[in-house]
Amino acid sequence: MPTTLSITTPDDFVLARDACSYGYFLLEPNHWDPQTRTLGRVLTLGGGSASARIDQRRDGRLRARFDRTLSRAEQAEARDGIVRMLSLDAPASDLAEFHRVDPRWGPSGRGRLFRSPTLFEDVIKTVTSCNVAWPSTITMNRRLCEVYGARSVAGGRGFPTPAKLARARPETLRARCRVGYRDARIVALAGLFRRGAIDVAWLEDPATDDDEVFAFLKTLPGIGPYAAGNIMQLLGRYSRLALDSESLRHARSVLGMEGTDAALMKRLAAHYEPFGRHRFRSYWFELWDFYESKRGPAHTWDKHTTAATFTAAQLAEPGGRRG
DNA sequence: GGTAGACCTGGACGC
DNA sequence: GCGTCCAGGTCTACC
């Protein structure tokens, strides 16, 4: 009999708001259904892949229905993955402090950011989002799952494991997944994860210093200042900004800043300085708010139409070229 | 420490 | 329909 898990959530948790809070919810193997407000994806577990459909019940608890029976160990694994994706383990005191520091987000309750079940998936997704337009990021993740993801009973495919990508030939990765020059970097990253050269527990330990984590991330192949800043927030560390060309557009069109790119980067850093260790969330929810002001709440976005062109560069400039 | 150019893809544009 | 141009972040070479 297929397994169904019931997962307790914090009182302030809202699936539609908190799952649809960061662009990765639109990337394979994630599937958000706006009609049923259900999050679906294939999870890679110890005994193989399993397809999960997650919805929120009236009492607030999450119900995760799988396409096969999970062992006890797999149930624990699946639960951990779902908790990580939805930031269910974010300390209430941390969210309360964020809302004190930046009261704009208190009424809506925003504070959690969607992420992947594993750090490995978050790192690879970040690499596929660098130096590329959003539609290409969508394509890369879809093909990575199609080509290297394990199939579940229901037929869907999960995200590739480090072992699978570490064994991939860069040329194949490039040709079949359209990852371009990122090919060797993705294989190298997968190898580091597979060999245990990346100490995930150390990176996720709140006691580890943010500066040390940031410095380490920048030593990884394909990870520069932007990617490292983004991976920081995916680790639940919001003290760094992940500034890119989208940030510059935000600075000019929403914040009304003027000047060269370099000058704007400095002004943005100063602008978010007052939010201290929560600055990324203050920045991100401003950006997200802008997207939603143009296209409606994120939980209503259709993955294949609205969501494929949701970045602000296009929203701000009708007919704009970049995603 | 700062800067320029290459890396690759896909969409926009001009013809 | 085809060729060209360009955005996007990281990496390397060079000053």
pLDDT tens-digit map of A23-49: 999 999 999 999 999 999 999 999 999
What is the model's pLDDT at position A314?
55
What is the model's pLDDT at position A307?
72
Cα distances (angstroms) measured from residue A50 to each of A1, A60, A122, A148, A307: 13, 24, 19, 15, 26
Work out the mean pLDDT of chain A and round it to a whole number.
93
Does residue A184 reach within 7 angstroms of strand B, measured from its CB? no
Q: At what angle do helices A245-253 and A261-272 cross, to 10 degrees?
A: 80
Footprint of strand C on the protein (CB under 7 A): A 130-133, 180-181, 185, 218, 220-228, 244-246, 249, 313, 321-322
What is the model's pLDDT at position A226?
96
**Nucleotides of strand B under 7 angstroms from a protein beta carbon:** 3, 7-13
**C1’ C12 / CA A244, Å:** 21
The values of phi and psi at residue A272, to 5°, are -95, -5
Does residue A176 reach within 7 angstroms of strand B, measured from its CB? no
Contacts of A128 (CB under 8 A, 6+ apart): A136, A137, A140, A141, A144, A179, A182
pTM (two decimals): 0.95
Does residue A142 reach within 7 angstroms of strand B, measured from its CB? no
What is the model's pLDDT at position A310?
58
Does residue A129 reach within 7 angstroms of strand B, measured from its CB? no
Nearest to A43 by CA among A56, A34, A30: A30
Q: How many CA atoms lie within 13 A of A231 on its CB side?
A: 32
Scanning every strand, the nucleotide with its C1' closest to A180's CA turns out to be B8
Does residue A304 reach within 7 angstroms of strand B, measured from its CB? no
**C1’ B10 / CA A250, Å:** 24
Does residue A139 reach within 7 angstroms of strand B, measured from its CB? yes
Does residue A136 reach within 7 angstroms of strand B, measured from its CB? yes
Closest residue to C11 (CA, C1′): A222
A153 and A51 in contact (C-beta within 8 Å)?
Answer: yes
What pLDDT digit, counting tens, does each position of A259-304 carry? 888 889 999 999 999 999 999 999 999 999 999 998 899 999 988 7
Nearest to A310 by CA among A285, A284, A291, A297: A291
Closest residue to B9 (CA, C1′): A180
A50 and A74 in contact (C-beta within 8 Å)?
Answer: yes
Spans in chain A with pLDDT lower than 50? 312-313, 316-323
Does residue A131 reach within 7 angstroms of strand B, measured from its CB? yes
Scanning every strand, the nucleotide with its C1' closest to A319's CA turns out to be B12
In whole angstroms, what is the distance from residue A8 CA to residue A11 CA? 9
A133 and A301 in contact (C-beta within 8 Å)?
Answer: no
What is the model's pLDDT at position A315?
52
Pairing of strands A62-66, A48-56: antiparallel
**C1’ C3 / CA A320, Å:** 21
**C1’ B10 / CA A245, Å:** 18
Scanning every strand, the nucleotide with its C1' closest to A182's CA turns out to be B8
Contacts of A150 (CB under 8 A, 6+ apart): A42, A44, A48, A49, A157, A158, A161, A164
What is the model's pLDDT at position A305?
78
Greatest C-alpha distance within chain A: 62
